[in-house]
Amino acid sequence: DGTPLWLFGDQLGRHFHATPENRGRDVLLIESEAALARRPFHRQKLHLVLSAMRHLAGELGDRVTLVRARTYREGLARFGRPVVVHEPGSHAAERLLAELIEEGLVEAELPTPGFIRSKRDFAAWADGRGRLVMEDFYRDQRRRYAVLMEPDGDPVGGMWNLDRANREPPPRRAALGVPRAYRPREDDVDRGVRDDLDRLLRARRIGPVGVDGPRLFAATHDEAGRALRRFLTTRLASFGPHQDAMLTGDWAMSHALLSASLNLGLLDPLAVVRAAEARLRGGEAPLNSVEGFVRQILGWREWIWHLYWYLGPSYLDRNALDARTPLPDWWRRLDPSQVSARCLRTALAGVRDRAYAHHIQRLMVLGNFALQRGFAPGALTEWFATAFVDGHPWVMPANVIGMSQYADGGVAATKPYAAGGAYINTMSDYCRDCRYDPRVRLGPDACPFTAGYWAWLDRNATRLAGNRRMSRPLSGLRRLTDREAVVEQERHRERY
């Protein structure tokens, strides 16, 4: 079939365009100005997507047509030939495709190779289950794709999950001390992108979100391959133990920094999983690290994708804790200068400077703060999707609405990820030099996370009363002698 293939900006790797079915097709890429300007994207995120698309156009040469148009529809009309396209990554794009098929601009929608399991297979697994549990899904994935499995059907090492070995606090050093992650070298394509974005910014067609900086993440299949190999060789072995730890002077720790490449479709997720598994077989990395990493991709990433489709668009409107606080201006502007809380300040500065924060900063600092302060989950979802280099519509709802804000009432997580300063103090070096004290909940030194935790619990005590995993914290709340004073203090707190 010689029908041309239209690739969205998150479908840019060889597992999309170089498969036996697609190799003979011409390729269409559309740079849609409406898609760029529709939402307040971080500068470095816009840069990465444009750079990746233009690099692919350069790589594929005569085979590709890159159309710059106001909208996708206009781009397709200008291209002038019907196309096929792989499943997109959002409900909005899915609706658009249905219209384009109706209008004859798109001939057919093909399954996506961007994820390991198909939607139909996921539905077959999920239908009829009482509760959807990620750990059950993950084990099914391990068996189905024979990853980290013994021939007799047992998991390698006799355990499915080695999380217990992966919750070590950080070492008492400024940095983890692992080799630096891969850094791409910018080229003429990047310079062109930077000029174009400067022009759009001057014309106020895009917002000034985040700072510009050298491109940190891969824009091509080859760069992403180098980033992956460097991670596997130098950082995978230490990925496990400090997965949940945070250090002020080490923004990357042993994290893979591969989410942007995976989400742009530059890396094939199953190939990444198999490459990590091979390092275990080669004795280069221990099981707790390899299993931890495999779970992130074969488990979590797939889980989040499938929940997005399986739970449908209405999931985005969930607000089980009735949280309605608008996002503060300093938060939206990524302006840490207003913030004294060292943990929050560090995470926010990281987002401003790199459009990135690692998982525990997202969950236990940014997400935890938003949960405690009752940020509206829809607005927060939008913020994460636009401010982060790896943010895409499909990845937000289960991570933000579900995991981090508990706005789905317990579908994605069995209990809210709310924690006070004691947790942050154990898992980081932030509190040492902070203006607040994680042990204090009342008065000028009261840690906004510690006091904020109790105030949040007080506000939601009735809503959470039915959750067995919350019974201990709730009885702690009842024993709190200064409960009213803490709640009152946090209600009026203006500075963090």
Paired sense of beta strands 106-110 and 5-7, if any: unpaired
Contacted entry of ligand SF4, ligand FAD, none for residue 240, CB cut-off 5 to 8 Å set by kind:
none
Q: In whole angstroms, how close is the CB of 420 to ligand SF4 at the nearest point?
A: 8
Question: Can residue 265 be called a binding residue for ligand SF4 (CB under 6 A)?
Answer: no
Which of residues 424, 427, 457, 464 is near ligand SF4 by CB under 6 A? 424
Question: Can residue 299 be called a binding residue for ligand SF4 (CB under 6 A)?
Answer: no
Gap between the Cα atoms of 313 and 300, Å rounded? 20
15: tokens are: 């597992």
Secondary element (H or E) of residue 302? helix 302-311
Q: In whole angstroms, how close is the CB of 471 to ligand SF4 at the nearest point?
A: 25
Contacted entry of ligand SF4, ligand FAD, none for residue 421, CB cut-off 5 to 8 Å set by kind:
ligand SF4
Q: In whole angstroms, how close is the CB of 453 to ligand SF4 at the nearest point?
A: 10
Secondary element (H or E) of residue 86? strand 83-86
Contacted entry of ligand FAD, ligand SF4, none for residue 431, CB cut-off 5 to 8 Å set by kind:
ligand SF4
Gap between the Cα atoms of 66 and 248, Å rounded? 42
**Furthest-apart CA pair in the chain: how many Å?**
73
Contacted entry of ligand SF4, ligand FAD, none for residue 343, CB cut-off 5 to 8 Å set by kind:
ligand SF4
Question: Can residue 289 be called a binding residue for ligand SF4 (CB under 6 A)?
Answer: no
Residue with tokens 């400077």: 353
Contacted entry of ligand FAD, ligand SF4, none for residue 458, CB cut-off 5 to 8 Å set by kind:
none
* Helical axes 448-464 vs 483-491, angle rounded to 10°: 110
Which of residues 88, 89, 402, 421 is near ligand SF4 by CB under 6 A? 421
Nearer to ligand FAD (CB atom), residue 42 or residue 362: 362
Binding site for ligand FAD (CB under 6 A): 255-259, 262-263, 296-297, 300-301, 304, 358-359, 362-363, 367, 384, 388, 390-391, 395, 399-400, 403-404
The footprint of ligand SF4 on residues 446-475 (CB under 6 A) is: 447-449
| Contact assessment for residue 366 and residue 235, using Cβ atoms and an 8 Å cutoff | no
Stretch that binds ligand SF4, among 59-67, 354-362, 398-406, 441-449 (CB under 6 A): 441-449
| Among 490, 494, 470, CA closest to 482 | 490
Question: Can residue 425 be called a binding residue for ligand SF4 (CB under 6 A)?
Answer: yes
Alpha helices per DSSP H over 61-181: 72-79, 91-102, 119-126, 134-144
DSSP tag of 28: E
Question: Can residue 248 be called a binding residue for ligand SF4 (CB under 6 A)?
Answer: no
Gap between the Cα atoms of 377 and 401, Å rounded? 6
Question: Can residue 419 be called a binding residue for ligand SF4 (CB under 6 A)?
Answer: no
Gap between the Cα atoms of 485 and 473, Å rounded? 18
| Contact assessment for residue 342 and residue 433, using Cβ atoms and an 8 Å cutoff | yes
Q: Is 255 helix (H, G, I), strand (E, B) or coil?
A: coil
Contacted entry of ligand FAD, ligand SF4, none for residue 49, CB cut-off 5 to 8 Å set by kind:
none
Non-local (6+) Cβ contacts of 344 within 8 A are: 336, 365, 366, 369, 448, 496
- Assign 3-class secondary structure to 232-253: HHHCHHHCCCCCCCEECCECCC
Gap between the Cα atoms of 267 and 260, Å rounded? 10
Nearer to ligand SF4 (CB atom), residue 253 or residue 447: 447
The footprint of ligand SF4 on residues 306-345 (CB under 6 A) is: 341-343
Stretch that binds ligand SF4, among 205-213, 228-236, 246-254, 432-440 (CB under 6 A): 432-440
Q: Exposed, middle or buried: residue 61 (CB in 10 Å: 0-12, 13-18, 19+)?
A: exposed
Residues in the chain: 496
Nearer to ligand FAD (CB atom), residue 75 or residue 114: 114
Question: Can residue 28 be called a binding residue for ligand SF4 (CB under 6 A)?
Answer: no
Nearer to ligand SF4 (CB atom), residue 343 or residue 411: 343
Q: In whole angstroms, how close is the CB of 241 to ligand FAD at the nearest point?
A: 13
Contacted entry of ligand FAD, ligand SF4, none for residue 434, CB cut-off 5 to 8 Å set by kind:
ligand SF4
Contacted entry of ligand FAD, ligand SF4, none for residue 359, CB cut-off 5 to 8 Å set by kind:
ligand FAD
Stretch that binds ligand SF4, among 189-197, 307-315, 431-439, 480-488 (CB under 6 A): 431-439
Stretch that binds ligand SF4, among 29-37, 213-221, 430-438, 469-477 (CB under 6 A): 430-438
Gap between the Cα atoms of 310 and 316, Å rounded? 12
Gap between the Cα atoms of 180 and 102, Å rounded? 50
Residue numbers at the binding site for ligand SF4 (CB under 6 A): 341-343, 421, 424-425, 430-431, 434, 436-438, 447-449
